[in-house]
Amino acid sequence: MTGIVEFDASEQSASPVATDTEPGGSAENTGPRRESAEEASVAAAPVSSVAAAFAAPAHMTWTRVSPRLAWYRRLLLLAPALPVVVLGGAVVGLWWSWQWAGALAGLVALVVAVSWLAARSEARAWGYAEGHTDLYLTYGVIVRQLIVVPYGRMQVVDVTSNLLEQVLGIATVRVRTAATTVDPRIPGLRFDDAVVLRDRLATRSETFSTGL
Amino acid sequence: MHWSTVPFQVLLFTVVFLALPGVMLMQFGAIVFVSIMSVAALGATGYAVLSWSRSFFELNEDHLIVHTGLVRQLSREIPLSRLQAVDVVRPLLMQILGLAELRVELAGGDSGEIRLRYLSHGTAERLRASLLAHAAGLSGRTPEAPEWPFYRLPFGLLLGALTFRVPVLSAFALLVALLVAGYMFRELGVLGGAVPLLLGLIRGFHGPLLRYTDFYSSLSPDGLRLRYGIFQARMQTVPPGRVQAVRIVEPMLWRVLGVARVEANVAGYVGERQMDSSTLLPVAPRRTAFALVNELFPGTDAARVALHRAARGRSGNEAVGTDGGLVVTSHGTFTRVVEIVPEARVQTVRLTAGPLSRWRGIATVHVDTPPGPIRAHAAGRDIGEARRIVDGIAERGQGARMSGTGPERWATRSERPGPPS
């Protein structure tokens, strides 16, 4: 029982961090606010069963990740797209005709444009909520997913941040359990938040720990 | 390790040496040949003796320490609280020489296995008993735990059940048809089809038949013990609480016979060993299969769990029930599969819905356990019901994990983890 009391205390101290995800830029603050507006509408009118099924657990809201995740995805997309357009366009243009080069550029531009828009909603789909005994996690636009990871089942909690993520100041918190069929992770957290979240999850995983 | 591995290794090395470069050396005359061969044999003896004297293991309180290697020395220290299963394996040659191999399974991927090769059979059995005693929290001098018989598979039933399967029967019918056609039309070309078919039949039929001949399972405080095989005699021990999930498979024709196969997820059995070791009962009456599941998950009754059919008609009789500490799913129109996961052993719970399912208002619930043949999931649930199932499992799972004391040191506990209240 003491463990739960402890956990409540840590939750209190942690909550400012969790809500204050994006202090910089007014545009970036729309994420959590939009969510609360949605919650209000949930209370007011009946929503679709899909939204209800993927809603945050009772008395909680999804903590959304940083919108920089969308930029991360876009940059990751541009990195191969630009050389394809420039080099591939030059090769096609010189060997065949510049019309085909234009077509290639147009095709790549279309793919980039679609993914550019998709990246936004993809980043918004990510969300997590820290329940009393479990971590709730949701993501996915096309295939929507909800993952419940009990704190006691977490074996390793780590933070990774590759070069591009470091430039954008974001990181991924990855949780490992004994089940290898799932890869619970939260990308696009601000680096400091990610470290705090990792420590919090690690502490709780110890509090709730049980044998395999 | 057993001393007899030394002459064995030397013999093996000498034979290989004789076969590869030895043949070429014969050109240089008998004296050169004999001297080089004896040098090679002596070198092999020296190496084998040295590496034998350097490889040893010790049992120290809660740890098994294994030292191996001469050039690259390796020493592993294994906490016995992590022990997932202990197997004694004896291929034919080892049986003749009176040797055995002891495999200690740990939860830790493909390398999470300790193989103690070539122990004498008695030593292997004693070590197995004392490893389990240590892991159970008793002293190493505890005599081997008593066991009581659970199920002995009659050879007739094994033979009959293995034959009475759609792929085997149809392959056999095809083979007969091919041979008859070939005989009638005096056409040797059918052999091109018949020979692979025959080999496939032998592989699919003989393999399990030889593996599971003389299958005997018993229950003991150490857990479930399985003994089977003639040419490769095996003895598996799965301690209590180490079975993460179970499934009962009933192929179409087996349902007529009322028999089933029981497979399990055990954290140590991954990769190649998953195929080898995850079958707990190869063929058993349906009632025995469920009785075993009840023994593995004490305080629960898998057969009593009420199953709820999927709301919208999907091909395959999808059904799920969460009751009395178990999550039970069943599917399959022809081959019926019942998957059973205790709520206390659930790792993560997932809810997924693709675009088409969302449009139809259905979703899939996945219950993840450590890797193995079982991936429990319930497809085609009404989306609201699916969320309630997920929340229910998550909620009760916490209680179930808390009421159980964990699988370590199972003997010194006051009582076994009961059902979640």
- Tell me which residue in B358, B384, B391 faces A144 most closely, judged by beta carbons: B358
Are A49 and B354 in contact (CB < 8 Å)? no
DSSP string, B175-218: HHHHHHHHHHTT-GGGHHHHHHHHHHHHHHHHHHHHHTTT-EEE
Q: Which of A181, A182, A205 to mutate to test the interface with B (most CBs of B within 10 A)?
A: A181
CA-nearest of A166, A165, A171, A169 to A197 is A171
What pLDDT score does B140 carry?
A: 61
Query: Between residues 77 and 116 of chain A, which touch chain B (CB distance below 8 Å)?
Result: none
What pLDDT score does A189 carry?
A: 93
Q: Judge whether residue A11 has pLDDT over 70.
A: no
Cα–Cα distances in angstroms (integers) from residue A206 to residues A6, A137, A185, A209, in the given order: 12, 20, 19, 5
In whole angstroms, how large is the CA radius of gyration of chain B? Answer: 26
- What does DSSP say about strands B83-91 and B74-79: parallel, antiparallel, or unpaired? unpaired
What pLDDT score does B311 carry?
A: 65
- What does DSSP say about strands B74-79 and B63-68: parallel, antiparallel, or unpaired? antiparallel
Query: Between residues 113 and 152 of chain A, which touch chain B (CB distance below 8 Å)?
Result: 131, 133-134, 140, 142-150, 152
Q: Which of A50, A128, A174 to mutate to test the interface with B (most CBs of B within 10 A)?
A: A50
Any idea where the domains of chain B sit in the sequence?
A: 1-54, 60-151+216-239, 155-211, 241-403
pLDDT tens-digit map of A100-143: 888 888 898 999 999 989 999 999 999 999 998 899 999 999 99
Kindly state the percentage of chain B with pLDDT values over 90.
17
Q: Judge whether residue B416 has pLDDT over 50.
A: no
C-alpha A150/C-alpha A178 separation (Å) is 12
Query: Between residues 15 and 54 of chain B, which touch chain A (CB distance below 8 Å)?
Result: none
List strands edge to edge, sheet with B113-120: B113-120, B99-106, B83-91, B232-238, B223-228, B216-220, B148-152
Contact residues on chain B for A184, CB-CB shorter than 8 A: 348
What pLDDT score does A37 carry?
A: 41
In this prediction the pTM is 0.78
- DSSP count for chain A of H helices, then E strands: 8, 7
DSSP string, A107-159: HHHHHHHHHHHHHHHHHHH-EEEE-SSEEEEEE-SSSEEEEEEEGGG--EEEE
C-alpha B273/C-alpha B110 separation (Å) is 9
Angle between helices A68-83 and A98-125 (to 10 degrees): 160
Kindly state the percentage of chain A with pLDDT values over 90.
38
| Count of pairs with CB atoms under 8 A, one residue in A, one in B | 111
Helix (H, G, I), strand (E, B) or coil at B115: strand
ipTM of the complex: 0.77
- The whole-angstrom distance between B154's CA and the closest CA on chain A is 35
What pLDDT score does A93 carry?
A: 84
Are A53 and B383 in contact (CB < 8 Å)? yes
Q: What mean pLDDT, rounded, does chain B reach? A: 82
- The whole-angstrom distance between B105's CA and the closest CA on chain A is 14
Q: Residue B179 pairs with which residues in a beta bridge?
A: none
The token duo for B260 is 């089933």
- Confidence tier at A197 by pLDDT (50, 70, 90): very high
The token duo for B285 is 């009456």
Query: Between residues 401 and 420 of chain B, which touch chain A (CB distance below 8 Å)?
Result: 401-402, 404, 406-408
- Tell me which residue in B348, B353, B384 faces A148 most closely, judged by beta carbons: B348
The mean pLDDT value for B342-356 works out to 91
* Pure H helices in B115-154: 121-136
CB hemisphere CA count around B211 (13 angstroms):
17
Q: What is the CATH number of domain B241-403?
A: 2.30.29
Other Cβ atoms closer than 10 A to B402 = 16
The token duo for B371 is 């890797």
pLDDT tens-digit map of B167-183: 888 888 988 988 888 88
What pLDDT score does A70 carry?
A: 93
* DSSP strands (E only) in A35-89: 63-64
Helix (H, G, I), strand (E, B) or coil at B321: strand
When mean pLDDT is compared over A69-73, A88-92, A207-211, the highest value belongs to: A69-73
Are B394 and A133 in contact (CB < 8 Å)? yes
pLDDT tens-digit map of B14-31: 788 777 776 677 777 778
- Confidence tier at B260 by pLDDT (50, 70, 90): very high
Q: B79 and chain A: CB distance < 8 Å anywhere?
A: no
Residues 6+ apart with CB under 8 A from B26: B33
pLDDT tens-digit map of B285-314: 999 999 999 888 888 888 888 888 876 555
- Confidence tier at A22 by pLDDT (50, 70, 90): very low
The token duo for B154 is 């009659």
C-alpha A176/C-alpha A184 separation (Å) is 7
| Cα B360-B366-B367 angle, rounded to 5 deg | 155
pLDDT tens-digit map of B272-289: 667 778 899 999 999 999
Q: A180 and chain B: CB distance < 8 Å anywhere?
A: yes
Other Cβ atoms closer than 10 A to B124 = 23
Phi, psi of A171 (to 5 degrees): -150, 165
Q: Judge whether residue A42 has pLDDT over 70.
A: no
Q: Judge whether residue A26 has pLDDT over 50.
A: no
CA–chain centroid gap for B326, Å, is 22
- What does DSSP say about strands B113-120 and B148-152: parallel, antiparallel, or unpaired? unpaired
